[in-house]
A and B are shown apart, each in its own frame.
Chain A
Amino acid sequence: GAGVSQTPSNKVTEKGKYVELRCDPISGHTALYWYRQSLGQGPEFLIYFQGTGAADDSGLPNDRFFAVRPEGSVSTLKIQRTERGDSAVYLCASSHGSTGELFFGEGSRLTVL
């Protein structure tokens, strides 16, 4: 497809479980971003990849959150020992470098019961 693809679109899990959220960026985009959006709020930056490396992970809230992009394309956001406060929509975006237009996926809605 032409756009940023995120799976799953919805994920319901129990407190304490592990979850993985996947992002498939636009082909050729070197920059990839993860954001978290709570209801009624703007997106909150989590992590930025340039190629395979995490150029800035300062937005990750704690060490339960981790993201990888091993081949410089698809990225996976991993959340360990989920808590109810992790419930949010997780948005992925990609761009040509760090100054090109951001293209967002439709997000993965995570609900932790």
Chain B
Amino acid sequence: GENVEQHPSTLSVQEGDSAVIKCTYSDSASNYFPWYKQELGKGPQLIIDIRSNVGEKKDQRIAVTLNKTAKHFSLHITETQPEDSAVYFCAASYDSNYQLIWGAGTKLIIKP
């Protein structure tokens, strides 16, 4: 079955700098790759997703890149702000939400 590995487990960056979180997956059939942000005491919230027919997707300060050959995808956050501090999860699946396999999460700390 699918296995998703995520790193780093903790990332600390200066406010205004960029942050990059990387995930690898094992099942080449996976074609849906969402990223979720989870704040303390809240449920995860979808921030961006990508499907395997595109290599990159951007939404303001957030971008996701996908390399299907290498089976890895990354989240890029530019011009980081204090409100970006949270735990970020990547996930992978074939076509549906309920079969999502999740990474272990990255705690992003934005230093003022």
Contact = CB atoms under 8 A, between A and B. Distances in A.
Interface residues of B, number: 19
B105 A41 contact: yes
A43 B96 CA distance: 16
Contact of B98 (A48, A105, A106, A107): A48
A101 interface: yes
Interface string B91-105: 100011111101111
Interface residues on A, range: 20 to 34
A100 interface: yes
B105 A104 contact: no
Nearest to B98: A48
B45 interface: yes
A43 B99 CA distance: 12
A42 B46 contact: no
Interface of B: 34, 41-46, 89, 91, 95-100, 102-105
Interface of A: 4, 31, 33, 40-45, 48, 55-56, 91, 93, 95, 98-102, 104-107
